[in-house]
Amino acid sequence: MSGGAATWARRNLFRTPLDAVATVVFGALGAWVLYKTVTFVFVTGRWQIIEDNLRLLMYGRFPTVHVPRLAVTVIALAAWAGVLAGIVRARQLDTGRVEVVRSRRRRVVDLADRFWIPAVVCLLLLLLTGTAGPWLTAAGAVVAGVVGRLIGPFFGRRSLTGKRVLIVLVLAAVPPALFFYVVDAVEVGEWGGFMMNLFLASVSIVLCFPLGILLALGRRSSLPLVRVVSTVYIELIRGAPLFVLLLLANVALGFFVPSSMTPSTATRAIIVYTLFTAAYMAEIVRGGLQSVPRGQYEAAKALGLSPVRQTALIVLPQALRNVIPAQIGQLISLFKDTALAALAMGMFELLEVSRVITSQGEFRGQGLLGETLAFAGLLFWTVSYTMSRESQRLEKKLGVGTR
């Protein structure tokens, strides 16, 4: 061990006898866990069940004949995300929030550092496939994302300020249009696997965020009726377990709504996830509103802004910035809670598929539940960790926690 390494170890690992004992104990425990994990992944794990059922795990019973629609959707979403990234970059350059234009190599390194884990997991999934279709889809998505990133700055230029509303409307219409493009061929009830988890989480996140903001503002409103209704809603929903709400939406809704008007199971799940998460999001945003100094309100009033503009332009942006970690934590929790949809509502999502495939004839009685649950856990962790990393990056850019 070099002198520098020995000094670092002495200062950080063996500074006191208690530190030395903790280092040895937890170091040994970590080495044992790492050894068991590596042994399970590369030696004892029987991963044939994952390879044989990869299609079920990823998109359930989705008819094979319509899988090309999924490929088109993935490629279109990649292009859409690329355009958004290009617009954001152009706006940052125009407003001076990016001081220098980084070299192309540095930007590639930055992207690799941000997304290498999901990229490795995607490569693993591609290696488990036995056809060329997923490889072509992945390649098309990469190309579409790059092309979208290159043309995105054109739509973000100041010269197009007058057409900004039209650009926003077109971009906002892309995901719903792709959804109806897929649903036109296959109803949501026939979806499944990890695609179902992503769908439930994505729609619920988009819907719960604005609802949570409105509830937070409503709870702080000076109008008694609005304040009471918002408070009662938040406290009632936060006091009820999510699993119970899902069961009620699945079982008890038929007693109150005629069968001809009952929404689909996926729609009911989205409604429950949205209403439940919005209540928690409201309290998070309310905490952010309370963290904004009183002087900001007074400054906004001094500028002659109306109450609505004070909130929208001055107070709310600061409040949302202050509680980014809590917001992302709640959204990650929402994503993981989509696994309850199978147990409470009988939906064929990833965790249910992981359980069911162990009952297939060639795999029955072989104790392969550990392998299937480990694969499901890897997918959930990859998305959750990526969301967390992007949240930390956003916090750093916005200077959260600094003055």
- What pLDDT does residue 401 have? 61
Q: What is the DSSP string of 10-66?
A: HHHTSSSHHHHHHHHHHHHHHHHHHHHHHHIIIII--THHHHHTHHHHHHTT--GGG
Spatial contact of 197 and 339, defined as CB atoms under 8 Å apart: yes
- What pLDDT, on a 0 to 100 scale, did the predictor assign at position 100? 47
In tens, the pLDDT along 358-376 reads: 998 888 888 899 999 999 9
Residues of the chain with pLDDT under 50: 98-101
Q: Which two tokens stand for residue 196?
A: 């179902």
**pLDDT at 119 (0 to 100):** 93
Q: Determine the pLDDT at residue 302.
A: 83
Query: pLDDT tens digits, residue range 86-105?
Result: 888 776 666 555 444 456 67
pLDDT at 397: 81
Write the DSSP symbol of residue 157. Answer: S
User: Using CA of residue 270, residue 85, residue 165, residue 144, what is the dihedral sign?
Assistant: negative
pLDDT at res. 9 = 83
Residue 110 phi/psi, 5-degree rounding, is -65, -45
Given a contact cutoff of 8 angstroms between Cβ atoms, the answer to whether 156 and 86 are in contact is yes
Strand, coil or helix: 400 = coil
Write down the pLDDT at residue 229: 95
* Confidence (pLDDT) at 66: 92
Q: What is the pLDDT of residues 213-245, one digit of tens each?
A: 999 999 998 889 999 999 999 999 999 999 999
Give me 340's structure tokens. Answer: 């309850």
| Confidence (pTM) | 0.89
Amino acid, single-letter form, for residue 116? W
Rg (CA), the chain: 25
Burial of 86: CB neighbours in 10 Å, binned 0-12, 13-18, 19+: buried
Write the DSSP assignment of 338-372 as a string of letters: TTHHHHHH---BHHHHHHHGGGSTTTTTS--HHHH
